Amino acid sequence: MRWDQLFEDLEAQQHEWLRREVETEAADHTRAERARVHLGDRLAADVGRTLRVRVSGVGPVVGTLVDVGPDWLLLHDAQRREQQESLVLTGALRSVEGLTGRVDERPRRRSLRQALRAVSRDRAPVRIHDREGDHLSGTIDRVLADHLDLARHADDEARRAAAVRGTVSVPYAAVSMLRRL
């Protein structure tokens, strides 16, 4: 009788040890999966949600997430009467409120340069906010490898030779957000 109890006890201990081993492996696997999740993957899963982002040099911006690229996100600003788009560089994000736990790991192909070229083609006047809180207004003339050229003119004027007060080159590394005017 004692041998039966001993074997039952050993078997119960083995089952408990195996159960704990499986739980530990599952927890390790979950932590490893989470460690591979990038902010862009979470943003991409939440397109259509209203988010509150804090942007270096700008402060809080609230808007509906419209699109996400590998290094930028596009918000329709909910704080303004007129619908305004804000292109925010992810490197300038200080925090994001309103994300769910969902993840979308599909590749996002439209680079910042491609997004800026689309704005440049529209010839829409923009305001570029830098990471120190300053801003420049004008029309994007050229989108280059690591910077853009901005023709400076008044916000309420179209880009015409007579209205241009000069051109300034702005490195992407200095940009935190760009708004169409």
- The radius of gyration of the chain from alpha carbons, rounded to an integer in Å, stands at 25
pLDDT given for residue 12 in this prediction: 84
Query: Is the pLDDT assigned to residue 71 strictly greater than 60?
Result: yes
Q: How far is CA 53 from the centre of its chain?
A: 9
Average pLDDT over residues 59-71: 95
Average pLDDT over residues 144-163: 92
H or E segment and range at residue 28: helix 2-35
Lowest mean pLDDT among 2-16, 49-63, 65-79: 2-16
Task: Confirm if 69 and 110 have CB atoms less than 8 A apart.
Answer: yes
Task: Confirm if 147 and 95 have CB atoms less than 8 A apart.
Answer: no
Average pLDDT over residues 79-106: 89
**Tokens at residue 159, please?**
């880009």
**Tokens at residue 90, please?**
């992810």
- The CA distance from 117 to 122, in Å, is 9
pLDDT given for residue 37 in this prediction: 84
User: pTM for the whole thing?
Assistant: 0.81
Query: Is the pLDDT assigned to residue 101 strictly greater than 90?
Result: no
Task: Confirm if 65 and 52 have CB atoms less than 8 A apart.
Answer: no
- The CA distance from 157 to 61, in Å, is 26
**Tokens at residue 179, please?**
């708004």
Q: Hey, is 171 helix, strand or coil?
A: strand
Average pLDDT over residues 124-144: 97
pLDDT given for residue 15 in this prediction: 84
> What band does 83 get if pLDDT is binned at 50, 70 and 90?
low
* Residues whose CB is less than 8 angstroms from the CB of residue 96 and which lie 6 or more positions away in sequence, other chains included: 39, 43, 51, 52, 53, 54
Average pLDDT over residues 81-89: 84
Beta strand residue intervals within the chain, DSSP E: 50-55, 59-68, 72-77, 84-89, 93-97, 125-130, 135-143, 147-152, 166-171, 175-180
> What band does 29 get if pLDDT is binned at 50, 70 and 90?
low
